[in-house]
Structure 1
Amino acid sequence: MSTTQTPSRQLTDRQREAYLRDGYLLGLPPIYTAEEMAGLNAELPHLLALLRPGETTNDMREWHHESAFLYEIVMNPRILDLVEGILGPNFYVWGSHFFIKPAHSAGTVPWHQDAYYWPLSPCNTVTAWLAFDDVDEVNGGMKLIPGSHRGGIIKHRQRDDDKAVIKLELEEGTFNVDDAVQFRLKAGEISLHDDRAIHGSQANPSDRRRAGLTIRYSGTNVKADVGKSPEFTAHLCRGVDTYGHTYYGPVPTQRYGRKERTPPEPAARN
């Protein structure tokens, strides 16, 4: 989907300082206009139709590898300009994941740190959370603990809860919920957060859907443990990769297509 031509979205020094201090950024310029966002939402049902029997929207992970529709989003220069302000000139995109809470849904995302889940080292990943709907405290918008990324990775525990979208959560007493900041976004806006920041979200008892696409960007110095994640694949967004840690996949050609991925030969992964 084409986007209206706008000036670059470089972060200011103050925004960079705030991100380093707090582990997140809000109040960024919209990535998509209301008209553009309506177009993206009109195409979303084509992706939902590709879910297989037994799958849910939580299974819509890394589909940008096969979907040109999603690839265009994760490679949007408006987003990349902002991410470059955090990661610097050399970075790749490897992850995308839809978090969709229908109206009157009980699904929650327990308090967690993204980096605890990922076999990546070092911690140098930015998540862009793109709102497909208006998001706030009423329909289960995300909350985040400012500054929590500076405390390192904290032990998580198994959560036995069918309503939880993810199955690991931070142990009680490792953070103060009262410190949480409520994220509020209009459709077409994004937030940015550090991979170590503590965050989560509640159920959506409202009459409104809450849909968002998370996009994971890492500096080229970040290496995946392919023993734990043998299908790890990325796309270079900007700059050059002088490390050679990462396998870069082909650009997708089908608009929504989904196919079974075959991991590349180990030699190709360095």
Structure 2
Amino acid sequence: MSAVDLDAWRRDGFLVLEDFVAAADCDALQARVAELVAGCDPGLARTVFSTRDQGHAREAYFRESGGAIRFFFEEAATDRPPAEALNKIGHALHDLDPVFDRVSRQPRFAALACQLGLERPLLLQSMYLFKQARIGGEVGWHQDAAFLHTRPSTVVGFWMALDDADRDNGCLLALPGGHSGPLRQRFRRQGESMVTDTLDATPWPAVEPVALEARRGTLVVLHGLLPHASAPNRSARPRHAYALHLIDGTAEYGADNWLQRPDLPLRGFA
């Protein structure tokens, strides 16, 4: 990153870095996902992923996905073939699939994590996001630190555009500077259940949302406290993306975080 990039990161809580992901890597991820989807059991009980009601959190299939590769479907597509119905695949692609491992652990990502101030970056979570044409669901305003909580807060998101993302097909939206505010909620384990605690009822900042339009190959970097969202995709174009979340190994990762990996230790970029 340049000094200008660093200033923008500190001010806004996000960066849009064009041409950061090679076209060959975008191709490789999309081709590998096509293989994974083709191998998806058509008789699989379809766990729907929705940020609207968090109903998926009641299912063990979701709760135990932190150290696995699992398939989650759109609410509006439970009767469609998987290739047209998936919401996302998660949450350990970067550790369990060799193609995702190679792309996720490139030196330029490691260097960027270092520039962002992560002393001992660990790759915690990965998601392949489909945002299907015409049915891709809305993702409401949230902070990643609500779901991936450390003390102090250290989570950073690397969001890679594998298709062109714009206002028509549900690109990311952000509230610039909103990362300077408090963490509003925590989504966590409570026994065998998941609960959402309100930590601070302060409204989101009264600033105009910014559409983070991104051409294929762009990397969007998101601060863990930045409020962000995405609109539904009602266009005829899908909006595939790959999201990777990092934390600092020097911070405390709570045992009550929803994402746990008892049989899969966290790794850095090596």
- TM-score, normalised to structure 2's length? 0.72
Structure 2 equivalent of residue 215 of structure 1:
244
After TM superposition, give the deviation of residue 176 of structure 1 in Å. Answer: 4.8
Range with greater deviation from structure 2 (94-103 or 129-138): 94-103
Equivalent positions of 1:125-204 (< 5 A) are 125-155=155-185, 174-176=203-205, 179-204=208-233
C-alpha distance 49-111 of structure 1, shift in aligned 2 (>3 A)? same
Q: Does 1:41 align with 2:71?
A: no
Q: 2:266 aligns with which of 205, 217, 234?
A: 234
Structure 1 equivalent of residue 21 of structure 2:
32
After TM superposition, give the deviation of residue 118 of structure 1 in Å. Answer: 2.1
Q: How many Å separate the matches in 1 of 2:149 and 2:205? A: 27
Structure 1 equivalent of residue 115 of structure 2:
85
Q: How many Å separate the matches in 2 of 1:169 and 1:146? A: 24
Structure 1 equivalent of residue 126 of structure 2:
96
C-alpha distance 63-35 of structure 1, shift in aligned 2 (>3 A)? closer
Q: Does 1:19 align with 2:9?
A: yes
Opposite residue 64 of structure 1, the aligned amino acid is H
Identity percentage over the alignment?
21
Q: How many Å separate the matches in 2 of 1:51 and 1:182? A: 33
- The structure in which a higher percent of residues are strand is 2
Q: How many Å separate the matches in 2 of 1:51 and 1:154? A: 36
Q: How many Å separate the matches in 1 of 2:228 and 2:214? A: 16
Opposite residue 24 of structure 1, the aligned amino acid is F
The secondary structure found in structure 2 opposite 1:80 is helix
The secondary structure found in structure 2 opposite 1:87 is coil
The secondary structure found in structure 2 opposite 1:42 is helix
Structure 2 equivalent of residue 112 of structure 1:
142
Opposite residue 234 of structure 1, the aligned amino acid is L
Alignment size in residue pairs: 218
Opposite residue 102 of structure 2, the aligned amino acid is E
Opposite residue 269 of structure 2, the aligned amino acid is C
Contact preservation (8 Å) 2:143, 2:224:
yes
C-alpha distance 155-45 of structure 1, shift in aligned 2 (>3 A)? same
- TM-score, normalised to structure 1's length? 0.72
C-alpha distance 209-72 of structure 1, shift in aligned 2 (>3 A)? same
Contact preservation (8 Å) 2:185, 2:196:
no
After TM superposition, give the deviation of residue 89 of structure 1 in Å. Answer: 4.8
CA RMSD of aligned residues (A): 2.7
Opposite residue 173 of structure 2, the aligned amino acid is K
Consecutive unaligned residues of structure 2, counting only runs of 5 or more, are 47-70, 73-86, 188-194
The secondary structure found in structure 2 opposite 1:118 is coil
